[in-house]
Amino acid sequence: MQTKSLWTESVPQTEFSALTNYFDVDVAIVGGGITGLTAAILLQRAGKHVAVIDNAQIAKGESGYTTAHLTQVLDNRYHQLISDFGEDQARLVAASKRAAIDCIEALTADYRIACGFEHVPGFLYSENDTAGDLAQEAEAMGKVKISAELLPAAPLPFKTKQAIRIDNQGQFHPRQYMLALAAEIVRKDGHIFEHTRVTHVEDGTPCRVEFDRGHITARHVIIAANVPVTNWLFLNTKISAYRTYALGAKLRTPLQPGLYWDTADPYHYIRTYRDPSEGDILIVGGEDHKTGTKEDTVTCFEKLELYARAHFDIGAVPYYWSGQIIKPLDGLPYIGLNSLSKHVYVSTGYNGNGMTFGTLGAMLLTDLILERPSEWAALYTATRLHPLASIGNFIAENKDVPLHMIGDRLAHGDVQTTDEIQPNEGKLISVEGHKVAAYRDAEGSLHACSAVCPHMGGIVHWNSAESSWDCPCHGSRFTAQGKMTNGPAVSDLKPVSVPEPAAAR
Ligand code: FES
């Protein structure tokens, strides 16, 4: 199916050149999404010379495939956080998320960015009998100083059992915001490179970052690529990749502006966007599943649309998109120095709150690089392992990895021969004991690659809605022809040649 994001369609494409030679800067930032661009501008304000380098186009990785809820609400709830981390730490989380929303508002005002930033309330609501849970969460929000109130229902056009209204959250057009930051970075002599793939990062004095066609030396390096893009095993066992789905539909009956989340599992998340030419657009997200574990992902969009039509008065659906959520073991992102590093920083594990936690990551890493005191540094440190909050999730999220690395290699292919593969379809096939990811394009040509993920050897699986090969181990993704689009892998699937039966040719 044809997928397109509301955010990438409504703003012009960027055209920054690729890095082709050598550069020396104070801070090299790998990844031109919300974290990378915000860090670049904050560091520039402190007098640092920066370069942002993106594998593809800036603001068009995961930051272009968000629903852009700016919020203090947590996916795994404040009452859980208080129980795992204690009330003082939970209060710091709430305050740091507030500071991130305020930072976006301040940058929007400072640079007069026309991105539709506005304060809206958030509503966490239940359609079922989970009223007790919401009362508990409302009480926890009070303890961490979030302005919130328990209501008998959410202001939605269908019946809800109970809701929490959270005041003073935010929403904006993420790409209008990020591209304005990028223009400012360049205007102040910062560098932005696109279509430049990192291949190696070496910590040192200076650090050296190798790219496919050049390199950069820098006093500090920030890896802001949604996931750590080198083979740092330890961090990769603490994060898990999930696909999430969103649609943008023409809204016929207006809805109170706000951010909405239900308590279903997986849950739905909702907001509106006023498009200057198309009018009100309803954005609905949900249907999350672990990356690489579902082939028929078209049904995820179908279910989402069924849900949206059953609950709201909508017309045509011009936008469908999907994004990658990185879940941390204990519910909080990992932000800080990478393990065993002195000058290489990471920021990952935003748990579905990419715009808010991404901004927070940029703020915190700026403080660390400038050696400014930060009351959040210890809380979010990337090297932490919080046993109480992590052990159950560690087992649950990693138990299938050996199966995908070893078991999937031994399993039968999806088909016996390539002539069983239809146009626009990808299938795994066994060739002389090796797993091959074979895709037949619309014209009938076959594209075959090794199905072995270059990150750590998982076997990739077909994703039908997005025509991609997705790895279930740590979430690396590749185009139908094998080109890497999502790390932690940093190289493509290896092309192989597969003989075609005469009938298929
Ligand atoms: Fe780690 Fe594929 S992403 S093995």
Does 326 sit in the ligand 1 pocket, CB within 6 Å?
no
Residue range 378-396, pLDDT digits in tens: 999 998 876 666 666 666 6
Residue range 27-37, pLDDT digits in tens: 999 999 999 99
How confident is the model over 32-53, as a mean pLDDT? Answer: 98
The answer to whether the beta carbons of residues 489 and 26 sit under 8 Å apart is no
Cα separation, 251 vs 366, whole angstroms: 40
Distance 69 CA to ligand 1 centre (A): 29
Q: In terms of DSSP bridges, do strands 69-70 and 22-30 run parallel, antiparallel, or are they unpaired?
A: unpaired
The answer to whether the beta carbons of residues 441 and 407 sit under 8 Å apart is no
**pLDDT level of residue 492 (50, 70, 90 thresholds):** very high
The answer to whether the beta carbons of residues 72 and 169 sit under 8 Å apart is yes
Specify the higher pLDDT residue, 189 or 500. 189
The answer to whether the beta carbons of residues 498 and 488 sit under 8 Å apart is no
Distance 474 CA to ligand 1 centre (A): 5
From residue 192, alpha-carbon distances to 18, 50, 112, 388, 494 in Å are 9, 9, 21, 41, 29
How confident is the model over 430-436, as a mean pLDDT? Answer: 88
Does 454 sit in the ligand 1 pocket, CB within 6 Å?
no
CB atoms within 10 A of CB 390: 18
Does 473 sit in the ligand 1 pocket, CB within 6 Å?
yes
Distance 406 CA to ligand 1 centre (A): 12
Does 33 sit in the ligand 1 pocket, CB within 6 Å?
no
pLDDT score for 230: 65
Residue 490 in this model has a pLDDT that exceeds 90? no
Would you give the end-to-end CA distance of the chain in angstroms?
25
How confident is the model over 111-140, as a mean pLDDT? Answer: 91
For the record, the structure tokens of 135 come out as 């009362």
Could you give the count of Cα atoms lying within 13 Å of 297 in the half-sphere of its Cβ?
A: 33
pLDDT score for 500: 75
How confident is the model over 363-376, as a mean pLDDT? Answer: 97
Could you tell which of 232, 455, 493 is best to mutate to test the pocket of ligand 1, judged by most ligand atoms within 8 Å of the CB? 455
How confident is the model over 302-312, as a mean pLDDT? Answer: 97
**pLDDT level of residue 407 (50, 70, 90 thresholds):** low
Could you tell which of 239, 243, 456 is best to mutate to test the pocket of ligand 1, judged by most ligand atoms within 8 Å of the CB? 456
Distance 25 CA to ligand 1 centre (A): 31
Closest atom of ligand 1 relative to the 460 alpha carbon: 2
Residue 76 in this model has a pLDDT that exceeds 80? yes
The answer to whether the beta carbons of residues 358 and 347 sit under 8 Å apart is yes
Distance 196 CA to ligand 1 centre (A): 21
How confident is the model over 327-346, as a mean pLDDT? Answer: 93
For the record, the structure tokens of 405 come out as 């690395």
Cα separation, 488 vs 466, whole angstroms: 19
For the record, the structure tokens of 150 come out as 């328990």
pLDDT score for 61: 87
**pLDDT level of residue 408 (50, 70, 90 thresholds):** low
Q: What is the DSSP string of 87-114?
A: HHHHHHHHHHHHHHHHHHHHHHHHTT--
Residue 505 in this model has a pLDDT that exceeds 60? no
Distance 236 CA to ligand 1 centre (A): 9
Closest atom of ligand 1 relative to the 241 alpha carbon: 3
The answer to whether the beta carbons of residues 347 and 224 sit under 8 Å apart is yes
Does 455 sit in the ligand 1 pocket, CB within 6 Å?
yes
Q: In terms of DSSP bridges, do strands 198-202 and 22-30 run parallel, antiparallel, or are they unpaired?
A: unpaired
**pLDDT level of residue 182 (50, 70, 90 thresholds):** very high
| Average per-residue pLDDT for the chain | 92
Distance 233 CA to ligand 1 centre (A): 10
